[in-house]
Amino acid sequence: MFTDGDRRIAVARRLAFDYLDTLNKKNMDNFIRFWTSRISHLPDAAVAFVRAYTKVLVYPAGTYLSRAGDYWPYWNFVAEGAVMALRYEEDGSVMVPWLVTAGSYFTGTVHAFTERREEVFIQALVDTRVVQLPNYRLQEAQQLYHAFSELINILKQRRLEQDALLDEVYRQTDASARVTAFFEAYPRLALQLPAQQVCAILQVSERTYKRGKQQYYGKR
C-alpha cells in the first residue's frame, strides 16, 4: 500500500524525468537546427537516422567521460558546456591536447575513422550535454547521406578554430600573459571555472592567475 509520502516521491521522480527528457529533446533539436541552418536541402531520412542512433548524455562538472586506456569509440557534439582532454606525461607534467566548447565536437579515445587510440583522460569542465553517436554509425551516416558529410566538414573547420585558440594560449611563454590569453579565448568558460582549476590547466600560480585576470580586464 502506498503512503502519501510514497506518492509524493513518485510524482517528484516523474517530474524530474520529464524535465530531463525535455532538456534532452531540446539539445537534440538544437543539434538538428545547427545542422539545418548550415546545410540546404537536408533529407528527412538523414535527420531520422541521426535521431534514431544518437543519444544525449549529461555530465556534471568534473566528471571523467573516459580515462586513459578506455575503449570509448564515440563521436560527441558538445551541445552545452565544455570538455577537455588531459594527458599525463612520464615526467609528471600534465598536457591539455584539446579543449572544446559548445558547437564543436570530439571523438573520444578512439579516432572516428582510423581507430587510432588516444591515451587521454576526457573531463567535463562544467555541466555538459553531448549528442553522442557511435563511430560506426558516424561512418554509416557519412556513407548514406552527403548532407551529414557536409556537416562533419563544417564541424572539422570549427574544431580547427577551437584548437587554434588553445594553441594561442599555450604559445604565451609569460605565465600571466597565458592567463590573459585564456580569458580572451574562453571568456564565458573562464568565469565559470574555479581559479584553482584554471591555474592547474595553465600551470600557473594563483598570484599569477590574479595578475593575468587583472590584465585581461584592464584591456577592456
111 against 172, higher pLDDT: 172
* pLDDT for res 9: 38
Q: What is the pLDDT of residues 179-205, one digit of tens each?
A: 999 999 999 999 999 999 999 999 999
Which whole number is the average pLDDT over 125-133?
Answer: 95
How far apart (Å, rounded) are the C-alpha atoms in residues 18 and 24?
10
How far apart (Å, rounded) are the C-alpha atoms in residues 183 and 176?
11
User: Using CB atoms within 10 A of its CB, is residue 70 exposed (0-12), middle (13-18) or buried (19+)?
Assistant: middle
pLDDT band of 114, cuts 50, 70, 90:
low
Q: What is the pLDDT of residues 5-25, one digit of tens each?
A: 445 434 333 433 333 454 566
Q: 132: phi > 0 → left, psi -120 to 50 → alpha, else beta; which?
A: beta
* pLDDT for res 24: 61
What is the identity of the amino acid at 2?
F
Residues above pLDDT 90, as percent of the chain: 63
Q: Angle, nearest 10°, between helix axes 175-185 and 146-170?
A: 150
Q: Is 63 helix (H, G, I), strand (E, B) or coil?
A: coil
Q: What angle do CA 87, 93, 97 make, to 5 degrees?
A: 35
Which whole number is the average pLDDT over 23-43?
Answer: 80
- Mean pLDDT, the chain, as a whole number? 85
